[in-house]
Amino acid sequence: MARSFANIEFYKFFVTCSLITPFIQKVISHLAMNNTLIEIRKIHIEIEHYLQNLATKSSTNQCAACTNVCCKEEICNESINSDFLRFILGDKTKEYNKKNGWFDQSSGCTLNFGRPIVCYEFFCSKFDEDSQSKNLQVKSKEFSQVYAKVFRNQHILEIDNINSIPEKKLQKLLEKLKLFKTLCN
Ligand code: SF4
Ligand code: SF4
């Protein structure tokens, strides 16, 4: 009798453990994933700063002197329509202006980070073909390419919920970003 009671208790214990374990695994993996995303965000912002500096220092910094700026709200809004860029922007999303986007007449783009990636990729015909400009253009293209086919063949900007990206894929992305960053330094 005592023995069958012990068996029942063991069975209950076993069932409880098997129910809890996947839950704990899920919590642990979610926490780990958040950490990976946080690291991705940090490196992404560092690379954005690098690209912005490269554009500023370059003799081909046409945008600062441009009298016909191509910035448009339709372009800016990618940053608030994309789950990934919203994550990069954080609280900054609250400052989005529905009419002008991130563009300010007197100071230009008001975003230091979380810009639509196309803003780094686009160069109008005013840009020269010299080596500085070429370097900027190549680096900007490669930056976007790092995010191609992140999960289910989708570019990260197309992914509706970045929390659905498996940890393994995030780790792979993080490694690619780290490698790209070392090439920028
Ligand atoms: S990309 Fe060309 S058109 Fe657009 S702001 Fe820069 S210089 Fe002006
Ligand atoms: S550079 Fe800034 S202001 Fe211009 S389109 Fe991109 S996000 Fe908007």
pLDDT digits (tens, 9 = 90+) for 60-83: 567 777 888 899 999 999 999 999
Name the closest-CA residue to atom 7, ligand 2: 76
Name the closest-CA residue to atom 4, ligand 1: 70
The answer to whether residue 162 sits within a structural domain is yes
The answer to whether residue 20 sits within a structural domain is no
Site of tokens 């008001």? 110
pLDDT of residue 22: 62
Tokens of 160: 């509706």
The answer to whether residue 19 sits within a structural domain is no
Among left, alpha and beta (phi > 0; psi -120 to 50; other), residue 137 is alpha
> How many whole angstroms separate alpha carbon 139 and alpha carbon 142?
5
Residue 39, H or E segment: helix 2-57
Ligand 2 mutation target, pool 52, 99, 102, most atoms within 8 A of CB = 102
The answer to whether residue 2 sits within a structural domain is no
From residue 31, how far is each of 17, 37, 48, 166, 173 by CA, in Å? 21, 10, 26, 12, 17
Whole-number Å distance, alpha carbon 5 to ligand 2 midpoint, is: 70
Whole-number Å distance, alpha carbon 94 to ligand 2 midpoint, is: 16
Q: Cβ-count burial of 138 within 10 angstroms (0-12 exposed, 13-18 middle, 19+ buried)?
A: exposed
Residues having CB closer than 6 A to ligand 2 are 71, 75-76, 101-103, 109, 111, 115-116, 119
Highest mean pLDDT, choosing among 4-8, 11-15, 67-71, 153-157: 153-157
Q: Would you place residue 149 in the very low, low, confident or very high pLDDT band (cuts 50, 70, 90)?
A: very high
Q: Which residues pair with 136 in a beta bridge?
A: none
Query: What pTM value is reported for the model?
Result: 0.81
Say yes or no to pLDDT of 51 above 60.
yes
**Ligand 1 atom nearest to CA at 63:** 6
Name the closest-CA residue to atom 2, ligand 1: 124
Apex CA 89: angle with CA 140 and CA 132, to 5°?
Answer: 20
How many domains, the chain? 1
Say yes or no to pLDDT of 119 above 90.
yes
DSSP string of 125-156, one letter each residue: TTS--SHHHHHHHHHHHHHHHHTTTSBTTB-G
The answer to whether residue 76 sits within a structural domain is yes
The answer to whether residue 30 sits within a structural domain is no
pLDDT of residue 100: 96
> How many whole angstroms separate alpha carbon 51 and alpha carbon 39?
19
The answer to whether residue 4 sits within a structural domain is no
Any atom of ligand 1 within 6 Å of the Cβ of 55: no
Burial 9-30 (b: 16+ CB within 10 A, else e): eeeeeeeeeeeeeeeeeeeeee
- Which ligand minimizes its atom distance to the CA of 69? 1
The answer to whether residue 49 sits within a structural domain is yes
Q: Which residues span the domain enclosing 45?
A: 41-184
